[in-house]
Amino acid sequence: MRTGITALGSGSKGNSILLHNEKGGILIDAGFSRKEMLSRLDSLNISPNIIKAILITHEHNDHVKGCRVLADYLDLPTYLTVDTFKYLREYNKVGAKKVIFAPGSSFKIDEFHIDPFIVQHDAIQPVGFIVTANNVKIGVATDLGQLNRLAKARLHDCNALILEANHDIQMLRDSERPLHLKRRILGRHGHLNNEEAVDAFEELLSEKTSCILLAHVSSDCNDRELVKNLALEKLKKMQRTDILLEVLEQSKPLQTVWLD
C-alpha cells in the first residue's frame, strides 16, 4: 500500500501535514483553523475521516491553532508530550482525548510506527518525528535552530524528508525585524537557515531518499525560488537529480506526494 504526504501548508501563519494511505492517516500539527484545514482537505478531495489522530510537535500557535476544535469535531485523540499538554490545557487548546508520549519512546497508530525525538527550538518540549509505514520512512523536522547529532542520526536514511529551510541569513539581517527577534531566529534554538538545511543533505540523504520537502519558509526573510535553486544546485553536485524537491507554501496545500 502506498504512503502519501499531503502538506496542507507550512509557514509562520500555519503548519499542518497529513501522512496517510488510501484508508487512514495521521495529521502532524493543526496550525490552521478547523474551517481552513477542512477546506484545504476538500480542495484535494481528501476526506477528513481518514485522520486517525493529531500529533503535535510543539505548542506554538502556528502549529496548534485549530488543534482543539478539529480534534473534538472529528473525535480524534491528540498525541503530545506531557509538558506540551500541560501548557495547551492551561490555555484550553487541546481536545478532550489526549495521549501522552515521551520523546525517545516509539508508539503506533494503526500501521504508522512513530519515533519522536527532541529538537532544538525555543518551545517547551519540541519534537520531530520519524514515521514509518509500509516500509516507507518519513522524517519530519519543521522547527529547529540547529541540526545536532541526535537530529542528524534520526533524520538520516529516510525515504522522504520534511525539513525546515526558514530564512536567508542576509535577508533576515537586512529586515526590519527587532534585533532581539533576529537573534532568536539565528540562535541554535531558533530556526534553520537555507544554507544549513541544504548543506545537511550530504549527511542526511541515502540511496533510498526519493523526496525532500522544504518547510516553514519565511514570507519576508526568504524567497521560495532562492531556496529551491540552492537545494537543486546541491542535489546536482551530489548527483541526486533523481530526488523530487518541493518547497512548501503557506497559502495553499501541496498535491499529495505518493511513496511506494
**82-117 tens-digit pLDDT:** 999 999 999 999 999 999 999 999 999 999 999 999
Nearest in space to 214 (alpha carbons), one of 246, 190, 242, 240: 246
Tens-digit pLDDT profile for residues 120-178: 999 999 999 999 999 999 999 999 999 999 999 999 999 999 999 999 999 999 999 99
Whether this prediction's pTM lies above 0.95 is answered by yes
CA-to-CA dists, residue 174 to 2, 166, 167, 177, angstroms: 44, 15, 12, 9
Contact 29, 55 (CB under 8 A): yes
Give domain limits for the chain: 3-247
Nearest in space to 18 (alpha carbons), one of 1, 35, 47: 47
Residue with grid cell 485549530, as numbered in its chain: 66
Q: What are phi and psi of 254, to 5 degrees?
A: -100, 140
Q: Kind and range of the H or E element at 6?
A: strand 3-9
Q: Reduce the DSSP state of residue 93 to 3 states and report it.
A: coil
β-strand 211-215 against 244-247: which pairing, if any?
A: parallel
Q: 3-247 — its CATH code?
A: 3.60.15.10
